[in-house]
């Protein structure tokens, strides 16, 4: 074990690097992909990304890379601003929209079981739910339904919006109804338009087709088979169980004190963003997914039918593809929930995976900085912003139609 410490205010930031043997979950790469090996991860560069996030206002930041049986960990800053306890990769946290991959996996497994057809209308399974019968399951999972994202209105004012829903419990139908009050953003099957409403509908489909809660289906289909010992869906309970990082929400007003947003129902998100996990479990999950352990090859291919979603990324079915500066593409999802930003991505074969977290949100500078963790983990060098380039990430997975505070 190698450790280094850096001081930020009264808090001590600790970096830990551990090399551990862990079982590989992924199937072998195709020959063409295997011929071009990924560069070795740049751990000092990754550590530097986290330190930059601290300077930009994050109380803490951490990352874990699992690579062909080797594990690299680094963590800086604090998990709790009161106790000043250092952040650790063993801490649990809210993963936000990385939850969408869990929901998509369940539905694709149901497609394998012939209980669901991706190109069937949603209204076939949920009669009368949507006003346009042309919206299919595939449209929902790829954010091409045109359903308005209700979080744009819910969190137009960041802290007041959060406090208004922190302890509320919504039904899926109540959240969909909030969306349907607004015009749709595109025709069914049109351009990608990110909306949390889509994955609330996904949760409704899971419940209708299985007769069980999304918690039960996540547990039986993903958490237990993969032995994810730190992954939970506790909605509507407000507490993160066990040892966890506290999450701090950045107010819209510059210089205002951070708001501890750790305890909440996360009912505004549910199947779109309410799972709790750790960096270890997220890497295990993505390795299993991309290694073909969670669904048939046919459905995994469906998951990776990409539509454009910006200049450097595409979207499949609940899965993002990001194209990095070194020509490598990585697969996973970002996650934003009040107090936490998550990046969880893996190589195409799942053999290298990264999970990175900062325990703050609504801070565009931190969000952009953490994108550099992918460059360090998969390209072998820290991200180097191009001179005069535009902000890489202007919006987040909460209220995507509302501009972020850029820090």
The answer to whether residue 396 is domain-embedded is no
The answer to whether residue 171 is domain-embedded is yes
* Mean pLDDT value of segment 259-276: 98
pTM of the model: 0.90
Q: Counting beta carbons within 10 angstroms of the beta carbon of residue 127, is it exposed (0 to 12), middle (13 to 18) or buried (19 or more)? A: exposed
288-291: which pairs have CB atoms within 8 A and are 24 or more residues apart? 288/25, 288/226, 288/350, 289/101, 289/105, 289/346, 289/350, 290/26, 290/331, 290/346, 290/347, 290/348, 290/349, 290/350, 291/24, 291/25, 291/26, 291/27, 291/349, 291/350, 291/351
Residue among 83, 97, 296, 361 flagged as catalytic: 97
Q: Counting beta carbons within 10 angstroms of the beta carbon of residue 123, is it exposed (0 to 12), middle (13 to 18) or buried (19 or more)? A: middle
- Residue 221, CB half-sphere, CA atoms under 13 Å: how many? 24
The answer to whether residue 31 is domain-embedded is no
Length of the chain: 407
The answer to whether residue 163 is domain-embedded is yes
pLDDT given at position 399: 87
Q: What is the pLDDT of residues 373-387, one digit of tens each?
A: 999 999 996 555 444
The answer to whether residue 174 is domain-embedded is yes
Q: What is the pLDDT of residues 15-52, one digit of tens each?
A: 343 323 233 333 333 333 334 689 999 999 999 999 99
**CA-angle at 319, arms to 279 and 27, nearest 5°:** 70
Beta pairing partners, 6? 13
The pLDDT-based confidence of 404 (bands split at 50, 70, 90) is: low
The pLDDT-based confidence of 394 (bands split at 50, 70, 90) is: low
Q: Find out whether 81 and 258 touch, Cβ atoms under 8 Å.
A: yes
Whole-angstrom Cα distance, residue 299 to residue 316? 11
Top pLDDT among 310 and 7 is at 310
The answer to whether residue 401 is domain-embedded is no
pLDDT given at position 135: 98
% pLDDT > 70, the chain: 86
Q: Find out whether 11 and 84 touch, Cβ atoms under 8 Å.
A: yes
The answer to whether residue 12 is domain-embedded is no
Checking if the pLDDT of 395 tops 80, the result is no
Of the ranges 4-18, 39-53, 258-272, which one carries the lowest mean pLDDT score? 4-18
The number of folded domains in the chain is 1
The answer to whether residue 391 is domain-embedded is no
Concerning whether 97 is annotated as a catalytic residue, the answer is: yes
Whole-angstrom Cα distance, residue 157 to residue 64? 33
Find the domain containing 257 and state its range: 43-379
CATH number at 342 reads: 3.40.710.10
Q: What is the pLDDT of residues 185-209, one digit of tens each?
A: 999 999 999 999 999 999 999 999 9
């Amino acid at each position: 074990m190698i450790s280094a410490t850096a001081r930020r205010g009264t808090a001590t930031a600790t970096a830990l690097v551990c090399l551990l043997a862990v079982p590989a979950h992924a199937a072998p790469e195709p020959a063409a992909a295997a011929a071009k090996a990924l560069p070795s991860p740049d751990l000092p560069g990754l550590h530097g990304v986290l330190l930059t996030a601290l300077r930009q206002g994050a109380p803490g930041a951490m990352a874990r890379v699992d690579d062909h049986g080797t594990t690299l960990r680094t963590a800086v800053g604090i998990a709790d601003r009161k106790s000043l306890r250092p952040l650790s990769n063993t801490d649990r946290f809210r993963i936000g929209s990385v939850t969408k991959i869990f929901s998509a996996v369940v539905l694709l497994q149901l497609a394998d079981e012939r209980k669901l057809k991706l190109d069937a209308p949603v209204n076939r399974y949920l009669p009368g739910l949507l006003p346009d019968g042309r919206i299919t399951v595939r449209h929902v999972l790829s954010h091409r339904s045109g359903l308005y994202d209700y979080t744009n209105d819910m969190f137009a004012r960041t802290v007041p919006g959060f406090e208004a829903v922190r302890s509320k419990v919504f039904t899926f139908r109540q959240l969909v109804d909030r969306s349907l009050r607004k015009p749709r953003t595109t025709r069914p099957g049109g351009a990608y338009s990110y909306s949390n409403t889509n994955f609330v509908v996904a949760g409704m489909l899971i419940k209708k087709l299985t007769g069980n809660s999304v918690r039960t289906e996540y547990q039986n289909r993903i958490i237990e088979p993969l032995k994810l010992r730190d992954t939970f869906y506790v909605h509507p309970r407000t507490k993160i169980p066990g040892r966890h990082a506290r999450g701090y929400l950045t107010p819209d007003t510059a210089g205002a004190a951070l708001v501890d947003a750790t305890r909440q129902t996360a009912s505004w998100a549910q199947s779109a963003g309410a799972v709790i996990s750790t960096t270890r479990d997220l890497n295990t999950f993505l390795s299993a997914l991309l290694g073909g352990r969670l669904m048939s090859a046919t459905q995994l291919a469906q998951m990776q039918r990409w539509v454009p979603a910006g200049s450097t990324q595409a979207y499949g079915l609940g899965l993002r593809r990001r194209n990095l500066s070194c020509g490598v593409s990585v697969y996973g999802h970002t996650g934003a929930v009040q107090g936490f930003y998550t990046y969880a991505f893996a190589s195409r074969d799942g053999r290298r995976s990264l999970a990175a977290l900062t325990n703050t949100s609504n801070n565009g500078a931190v969000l952009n900085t953490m994108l550099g963790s992918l460059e360090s983990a998969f390209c072998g060098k820290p991200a180097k912003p191009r001179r005069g380039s535009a902000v890489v990430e202007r919006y987040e997975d909460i209220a995507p139609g509302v501009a972020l505070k850029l820090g």
